[in-house]
Structure 1
Amino acid sequence: MEMTFSFSDRLVLLFDCWSVHSPTGLALSVLVILLLSVLYEVVKMGKAKVLRRALLAVPPTFSQDTLLGPNEGDSGDGGGGDSEDSGGQEREAMQGRWFRYHVGQTLLHVVQVVVGYTLMLAVMSYNAWIFLGVVAGSALGYFVVYPLLCVGYGAVASHPIQ
């Protein structure tokens, strides 16, 4: 296997069964890799959106102590009435929301890692066309996805161009 970039239309990409022997096959392979690069950028944006929703769902006063529960030595107000029950229910609801967002971010992270390593291995085929497909897909994905991320944060409305 060559260890320098080449512009060949013959290569084996990722698996033995993904063998390219023609310019048409190479073009289709570059298109698939380009779409994987776009997917990588979409997943990155998805992780940021999920993080934003998680931060909005959990109020700023929601501390780590609230997530984990009160300390064993903390006796509270000693009343043991309805205020403790409603506080406990609220804490359980917050824990459930936080956990769902955490699971969502974890799954998106796994997808991002798998797609990222797949793209890295594709680039390691040392085919310049595949490399350019990864770069173009990343640029296209970022160009398309980034405005969607900014709109959610209100960056466009709060920072007008003067």
Structure 2
Amino acid sequence: MDHGDHGGHGGHEMPSMPTRRCSMNMLWNTQIEDTCIVFRSWHISSTTAFVFSCLIVVALGVLYEWLRRAQSNLDVKIAASLSAQGKGKGRSGEHTGTTVPLTARLTRAFLYGLTVFLSFFLMLVFMTYNAYLILAVVVGAAIGHFVFNPQMDVEGILAGSSASGKGMACH
């Protein structure tokens, strides 16, 4: 028995849903729907989802700045500990390189790895060329810098010995 014709019931097929695809723009754009952020699974299908995604990107920018501050604070803490132990100075009192204890090195490496990962991730968000997402990265970095960098080494900057630190760079 052949049911391939289904007795003339061929017109009862379900209408196919339009396929949503990630839009790949290599030019400046302000597209909202069908924008994918880094992963195909982070597919924006509504304005609400896009706004929420922008807020996540802002939070990632703030997190990046927090990680940079955490690295700096950890280095200060390690340096103070080594200095208190009398390590890090030569016979004539000049500063020398000191081997950092293993647990501190592992913590420093972990924070550094997270910072590098997040900086590259934000670079990929930036490379969507979406004006709103680019703005979200910049706003997150600015908020994070404002919150986590309230101090400045004025004497070091005036003496030319202290840079203000690299900005949000890929590496």
What is the TM-score with the length of structure 2 in the denominator? Answer: 0.65
How far off is 1:64 after superposition?
A: 8.9
Higher relative contact order at CA 8 Å, sep ≥6: structure 1 or structure 2? 1
Q: Name the counterpart of 2:111.
A: 108
1:62 correspondence with 2:65: no
Q: Name the counterpart of 2:47.
A: 23
**After TM superposition, which residue ranges in structure 1, 4 or more long, deviate above 4 angstroms?**
none
1:99 corresponds to which letter in structure 2?
L
1:2 correspondence with 2:54: no
Q: Name the counterpart of 1:126.
A: 129
How far off is 1:51 after superposition?
A: 0.4
How far off is 1:63 after superposition?
A: 4.2
Report the 3-state secondary structure (helix = DSSP H, G, I; strand = E; otherwise coil) of the residue aligned with 1:5. coil
Q: Name the counterpart of 2:158.
A: none
Q: 1:42 aligns with which of 61, 66, 69?
A: 66
Q: Is the 8 A contact 1:5 1:128 kept in 2?
A: yes
1:33 correspondence with 2:60: no
Q: How many residues align?
A: 122
Q: Name the counterpart of 1:13.
A: 37
Cα deviation 1:14-64 (Å, max 9, x = unaligned): 111111122111101100111000000000000000000011000285249
What is the TM-score with the length of structure 1 in the denominator? Answer: 0.68
Cα deviation 1:79-101 (Å, max 9, x = unaligned): xxxxxxxxxxxxxxx97x73222
CA distance in 2 between partners of 1:63 and 1:136 (Å): 39
Q: Is the 8 A contact 2:82 2:88 kept in 1?
A: no
More helix by share: 1
Bigger radius of gyration among the two: 2
Give aligned-pair identity as a percent.
Answer: 25
Report the 3-state secondary structure (helix = DSSP H, G, I; strand = E; otherwise coil) of the residue aligned with 1:62. coil
Map 1:70-149 → 2, pairs under 5 A = 98-147=101-150
CA distance in 2 between partners of 1:110 and 1:64 (Å): 29
How far off is 1:4 after superposition?
A: 1.2
Provide the alpha-carbon RMSD of the alignment: 2.5
Structure 1: tracts of 5 or more residues without a match: 66-93, 156-162
Structure 2: tracts of 5 or more residues without a match: 1-23, 91-97, 156-171
1:20 corresponds to which letter in structure 2?
I
Report the 3-state secondary structure (helix = DSSP H, G, I; strand = E; otherwise coil) of the residue aligned with 1:4. coil
